[in-house]
A and B are shown apart, each in its own frame.
Chain A
Amino acid sequence: MSDDSTRDGTMTENKGFEPKIVAYVCNWCTYLGADLAGTTRLEYPPNVRIIRLPCTGRIDFNLIVKGFEIGADAVLVSGCHPGDCHYTAGNYHARRRWILFRELLDTLGFDLRRIHFTWISAAEGKKWQQVITEMTEQTRQLGPYTDLYANGSAQDSANDLPSGPPTPFEFKTLPAEGALRESCRKLLADGTVKVVIGYGQRGPAILTRAEDAGRLVWNNRCVSNLTTYLKRKEIKALGKPAVVVKPCDEKSLVVLEKESQLDRKNIHVIGMACEGVGEPKCTFCTARTPRFADETLGEAAGPASLADPPPNRFAALMAMAPAERMAFWAKQFDRCVKCYACRQVCPMCYCERCIADKNRPIAIDPAPSAKGNFAWQIARAFHLAARCVGCGECSRACPAGIDLALLNIALHKAAQVNFGYDAGVDPAAEPVVGSYALQDKEDFIG
């Protein structure tokens, strides 16, 4: 795909439109199947550009997006049939990731009719011919993919999501504050922990001296998910921490332990009973008391039933047509300045070096352009697939007010529906990504 033949240059009218299709195929089955089609002189449309990779399990999801960015009108991913993988299970892992990735692309408003998955074996030259012929014809009918990233422009006409009336909020200091201070003072004084990660007057407070325990507060504005500090090397260097968690924050600890990111025995967890901190997530939250804390302070009334629940923003988003959804996101991402607050506040984003910071070669377009912002948010959200515990810190931290948590909600729902998995709830549950099941659905795979 040369630089000159951009999407705009290919055609001005639908007449004579020749779609460009990028096919990511595995080395062992589909590539040989395509080869067989050639050697047996089976004719198929020349619209497809084949990119050979070792295994579908090794196909980075970013490549699918990249294919569209460089001008593809449709993308195909194809590998060995289940059970036939040269590496035993690569295609099973791929299948599981596609299930989730399709949901993310759908939420962002990609045209799923342009994304195809299939299994083609080395003996199925005929199937390759048939798949490419049908795909080419279907894409020709769809026309060129001009809606990608809403054509690079943030349209004023793009829909916005409903936001309910502002919920009344009354600041109140909670009774457990005294017990919290006392407990932390003791922990520091007797050397049980070296550092306390709690809440102070203006935000998080990190204490190392028992006499400072009076600086801690506990009120209904204690919003931050403090478990994110456990990953920071400055905190790790201080020694064994005590961390104050709400029931929602506590879920991050479950996932982090599962991913071997923390040694639970070396962390003292102070769970706070919580009735909500005035954030959007609180309106749907039913968790009131932490379950795995080393000590739990305070009491919370049972979940209040909402007389007038706020509008479901996710449902409103998914009610839009795909192109409208993409226009919505293009308008939102237009405000993104790439400050990476979404990444930095996230307890699950603990990579030593983020893919967005890799610059030799560049993996994610670093400019805060439509392409760069979509690429970054796709990478961020998908790396959190079936790992995000829904603490909503990404949305809260965003200075541009982009509701990033909607992307995480999409993937959370996909994990729930397809794999019955709720990140951070059951410490014994097997993580979704990194495992697979023979019966994973494949109704979308041709």
Chain B
Amino acid sequence: MSEIISQSGLRQLVADRIAAGTIVSGPTQVKPKLVLYAVLGSPDDLLLEGFVRPDNSIKECVFPKQEELYGYRIQGNNIELTDGLTNDDLTNDDAPVPKQLVVAARPCDAAALPILDHIFNWDFKDEFYNRRRAATTVVTLACDSHGENCFCTSVGLHPAAERGSDAMLFELGDGSYEVRCITDKGRALFDGKTEESDKVGRADAGPEKKFDPETVRAFVDQHFEDPFWSQHALTCVGCGVCAFTCPTCHCFDIVDAGPSAGNARYRTWDSCQFPMFTAHASGHNPRAGQPSRQRQRILHKFSIYPNKFGEILCTGCGNCTRNCPEGIGVLTVATEIDHG
């Protein structure tokens, strides 16, 4: 036996959550040919079919692109900390964290959350992240197709992977979905909303394996100085698209938005592809050129992070390659390494 929900039932559930004040995010058609995860104003904005995956990731729900850490006021030689400036900030310890629901996330997005959990709780417990994470429920929609840049199967995932999801939806092909609740959060969300059925949903078979991550790891460990990097990095223009649309990239910068923004300290996303990322105050930059920055990204994903946490820092979503203006990313580098 399985539990199913109709598409209208799912939209009704979204409508109820929005009405209850939950921030609901999901795939939306932002413009022709562009699907992004965004906060849903209405359940009709939720896009459920006809696309491979959104061009951004759900990390924004737990690790926003800009997050206010605290406000401050400078008077003479004194600096006084103040509450934040924005209403939805978490700078006030007692402020309730808005409940969040992510609907129709892809498995490669949901799988990134346990990875981010490690990072934000490794040596320092990141309260901002943890509070948002605890208030977030993730409902994943198993993929019904895959694109040329997808490679989840190469990094140990697949279109029906449950990792990081509170509940999974599987298309039944008749406009309804099989619901598989995985955690208590998921069960609470769908409690009483589903019907029993004998239909079982199916997912896409996924892309064929495109490279072996162990080969990549062995290569990057042994080829720190190698002409491969300078050759490969030639077409990289040095923007941050790969890191910013990646579900697992988590580096951030801390910036002061000066008096014109009312004196606040923010955390914003940062990318290892920017020269400023490693620039020293002295002017020296240990990663002086794009080859070393490209190497860093691959090294971090296939060696540094796995050595520390025992898994790859990549879920195979393919967003880096998909969004790169010049068509390079983990997929192109890793396949080049694996196939020579």
Contacts and interface: CB of A to CB of B under 8 A. Distances in A.
B337 interface: no
B325 A345 contact: yes
Interface in A345-379: 345, 357, 359, 361-362, 365-369, 371-372
A274 B34 CA distance: 27
Contact of B257 (A166, A228, A337, A365): A365
A235 B239 contact: no
Contact of A397 (B239, B262, B266, B291): B239
B19 interface: no
A203 B33 CA distance: 19
A87 interface: no
Contacts of B235: 203-206, 229
Given A343-B239, A362-B255, A365-B257, A401 B262 contact: no
Nearest to B56: A399
B73 to A, nearest CB: 7
Nearest to A1: B259
A156 B41 contact: yes
Contact of B239 (A202, A345, A366, A367): A345
Nearest to A202: B327
B325 A3 contact: no
Interface stretch (B93-101, B170-178, B185-193, B240-248): B240-248
Given A156-B41, A233-B289, A339 B234 contact: no
Contact of A340 (B33, B240, B253): B240
A234 B268 contact: no
Contact of B255 (A228, A337, A366): A366
Interface string B241-279: 101110000000101111111110010110100111000
A397 B268 contact: no
Given A156-B41, A367-B261, A202 B328 contact: yes
A321 interface: no
Contacts of A338: 65, 240, 244, 268-269
A163 B29 CA distance: 13
Contacts of B33: 166
Given A206-B235, A399-B245, A401-B31, A70 B327 contact: no
Contact of A224 (B239, B271, B325): B325
* Residue of B243, B260, B325 ringed by the most chain A CB atoms within 10 A: B325
Contact of B65 (A206, A368, A371): A368
A377 to B, nearest CB: 15
A343 B271 CA distance: 15
A275 interface: no
A341 interface: yes
B325 A393 contact: yes
A399 B260 CA distance: 28
B260 A365 contact: yes
Contact of A372 (B36, B41, B257): B257
Nearest to B233: A234
A341 B241 contact: yes
Chain B contact residues (Cβ within 8 angstroms of A): what range? 35 or more
A362 B256 contact: yes
B326 A399 contact: no
Given A224-B325, A344-B238, A335 B36 contact: yes
Interface string B223-244: 0000000100111011111011
Contacts of B323: 399
Contacts of A3: 73, 259, 262-263
Contact of A341 (B36, B240, B268, B289): B240
Nearest to A339: B240
B30 interface: yes
A318 to B, nearest CB: 19
Nearest to A164: B32
A369 B66 contact: yes
B290 A371 contact: no
Contact of A367 (B259, B266, B328): B266
B30 A401 contact: yes
Nearest to B55: A399
A160 interface: yes
A232 interface: yes
Interface in B312-339: 323-328, 332
Interface in A212-246: 224, 228-229, 232-235
Given A204-B326, A335-B36, A341-B239, A366 B253 contact: yes
A401 B255 CA distance: 26
Contacts of B255: 359, 362, 366-367
A163 B230 CA distance: 41
Nearest to B243: A339
A6 interface: yes
Contact of A339 (B30, B73, B241, B257): B241
A251 interface: no
A140 B282 CA distance: 50
A69 interface: yes
Interface in A363-409: 365-369, 371-372, 393, 396-397, 399-401
Interface of B: 30-34, 36, 38, 41, 55-56, 65-66, 73, 230, 233-235, 237-241, 243-245, 253, 255-263, 266, 268-269, 271, 274-276, 289-291, 323-328, 332
12 contacts: A3-B259, A202-B327, A203-B324, A204-B327, A229-B237, A233-B289, A339-B241, A339-B245, A343-B239, A345-B325, A372-B257, A399-B56
Give 4 nearest A-B pairs by CB, closest first: A203-B327, A397-B325, A339-B240, A341-B239
